[in-house]
Amino acid sequence: MTSGVMAHVGVTRAQALRAARPAEWVLRLSALALFVSACAAVPRDSPMVLLQFLSLAVVARLLRVPFDGATLDLEAAAIFPAVILTRSWALGAALAPIAVLLARLLQRKGRLKTADLDDAADLVLSYGASGFFYVSLASGASGDLALTLLYGGTVLVFFFTRVTFGAIHATSSATTRIPALVRAAAYQFFALLLLSPVVALVVILHPTHGYRGALLAFTSVALVSMALRNLARVRSRAEELKRQNRELETLREISTIFAGLSSDKEIFDRLFRTIAKSVPCKATATVSYEDDLDEPVFCGDVKIDPAAFQDWLHRHRDLESPFSQAAPAPVVSTRADRELALNDTLDYQVILPLQTPELLAGLLIAESDDPALIEPESVQLLAVLADHVAMSLRDRDLRRQMQTVNDRLQGRAETLQRILEVSNELKSHLTLDHVLTNIVRAVSSSLGFNIVLLSLYDRLEGVFERRAHVGLEAIWEELSQQKLAREEIARWFSEKYRISKSYFVSHLERTDLGTPVKEERRRRAFAAGEWHAQDLLFIPLTTGDQLIGVLQVDEPKSGQVPTLEDVQALEIFVNQAVTAIQSARAYETTRQMSVKDSLTDAFNHRYFQETLYRELTRHDRSGQPLALLMIDIDNFKTVNDRMGHPVGDIVLKGLVEEMQRTVREMDTVARYGGEEFALILPETTPEKALIVAERLRARAAARTYVTPDASPFSITISSGLATFPIDGNSKRALIERADQALYQAKRNGKNCVVTASSIREIRLA
pLDDT value of position 91: 85
Side-chain half-sphere CA neighbours of 189 within 13 A = 15
CATH 3.30.450.40 domain residues, the chain: 260-403, 432-582
Superfamily for domain range 432-582: GAF domain (3.30.450.40)
Dist. CA 289–CA 295, nearest whole Å: 8
pLDDT single digits (tens) 698-754:
999 999 998 888 889 999 999 999 999 889 888 999 999 999 999 999 999 999 999
How many whole angstroms from its chain centre is CA 476? 16
pLDDT single digits (tens) 449-504:
999 999 999 888 889 999 999 999 999 988 888 888 888 888 898 888 888 889 99
The answer to whether 626 and 683 are in contact (CB under 8 A) is: yes
pLDDT value of position 601: 83
CATH 3.30.70.270 domain residues, the chain: 596-764
Under CATH, which number does the domain 260-403 receive?
3.30.450.40
pLDDT single digits (tens) 223-237:
777 877 787 788 778
Output 176 or 361, whichever has higher pLDDT.
Answer: 361
Dist. CA 707–CA 690, nearest whole Å: 32
* Whether CATH 3.40.50.720 fits 596-764: no
Work out whether the CA dihedral 492, 496, 499, 500 comes out positive or negative: positive
The amino acid occupying position 734 is L
pLDDT value of position 628: 95
pLDDT of 318 strictly over 50: no
CATH 1.10.1760 domain residues, the chain: 13-238
* Mean pLDDT computed over 625-641: 92
pLDDT value of position 200: 82
Least confident of 256-260, 344-348, 681-685, 697-701: 256-260
Dist. CA 82–CA 16, nearest whole Å: 38
pTM of the model: 0.38
Dist. CA 744–CA 733, nearest whole Å: 17
The architecture in CATH of the region 13-238 reads Orthogonal Bundle (1.10)
Q: Which positions are catalytic?
A: 675
